[in-house]
Amino acid sequence: MTALCVAARAGKSALHWFAAAALAAAISAQAVPQAAAQQPAPDSVIMAPLDEATLFKLPERAGTIVIGNPLIADVSLHAGGIAVVTPKGYGVTNVVVLDHGGAVLMEKAVVVTSPPGHVVYVYRGPARTTYSCNPDCSARINLGDEPDEFGKVLGETVSRTTQATSAGSK
């Protein structure tokens, strides 16, 4: 008798999970067209991996570059109509290019993504540490890592850079 009750409960539980999955599928099916409609065209997006500069060509008569959120990326103007995107943090922002009269010449989304290559994320509970592995693994500075580990790796990097700079100036 107990086995029947457990089996009946398991059947109801499975039915609930099935109903929840069907509901989630129906909701996501409706959400996909809306999300697709909000996606910018591929040529209006600048994909910028964290820790890598990305170049893009400015339109003729570019006078001013405005970045939506300078905590996500920075953009600088260079000779020859070239702009450099320097990612600062993960996320999406935009860049607007104006002419000298203030007319909008171009607007693009800037999407800062994870760095490419052989990156390994190690999770210890909620704490994360990032390693660059090519071919050996070494800890790397990565936004979102556990604060103590991030600070330790950052300190080592700053110390190494300071020593290299002072050795090169002698």
Which residues share a beta bridge with 84? 55, 76
- Whole-prediction pTM: 0.61
Q: How far apart are CA 110 and CA 133, in angstroms?
A: 27
Strand partners, 55: 84
Give the pLDDT score at 124: 94
- The values of phi and psi at residue 75, to 5°, are -130, 135
pLDDT at position 41: 62
User: Which residue numbers in the chain have pLDDT < 50?
Assistant: 1-12, 15-19, 22-29, 31-37
> Is 66:96 a contact under the CB 8 Å cutoff?
yes
Residue 122 pLDDT:
94
- The pLDDT, as a whole number, for residue 38 is 53
